[in-house]
Amino acid sequence: MELIQQQLKAAGIEVTLKQLQVTQPAPTLQSGDYDAAWGNITRADPDALRSSFSTRPANFYRVPAGSLDTAMRRPRPPTPLLDFLPADARP
């Protein structure tokens, strides 16, 4: 993030970085008292994109409703647990 801050400063844009403690992001995002937010959310759950970039329920990234939101509302088929196992470990 510091590199982005330096690059934006060179372009005349002042950025203040604020690192939050683990308990702070949700209340901060819910308050809307920020101009931009960045976080790294990765997990094995296929709904990771939906929870971050859908306009429902919280829409912390302030994403406008559009085709991405429509696509994310479609039900997804369940992923069989065996698909996560290496081929040589499957029964």
Q: What is the pLDDT of residues 15-46, one digit of tens each?
A: 999 888 888 888 888 888 888 887 766 665 65
Is 47 domain-assigned? yes
Host domain of residue 48: 39-72
Cα 1 from chain centroid (whole Å): 16
| Rg (the chain; Cα; Å) | 18
The answer to the question of residue 82 being in a domain is no
What pLDDT is stored for residue 80 in this prediction? 63
Predicted confidence band at 13 (pLDDT cuts at 50, 70, 90)? very high
Domain count, the chain: 1
Q: State both tokens at 3.
A: 């590199």
| 22 within a domain of the structure (yes/no) | no
Check: pTM over 0.75? Answer yes or no. no
Q: Tens digits of per-residue pLDDT, 70-86?
A: 777 777 666 666 666 67
Cα 32 to Cα 13: distance, rounded to the nearest angstrom: 21
Q: Is residue 26 part of a domain?
A: no
The answer to the question of residue 50 being in a domain is yes
- Does residue 49 lie in a domain region? yes
Q: Is residue 90 part of a domain?
A: no
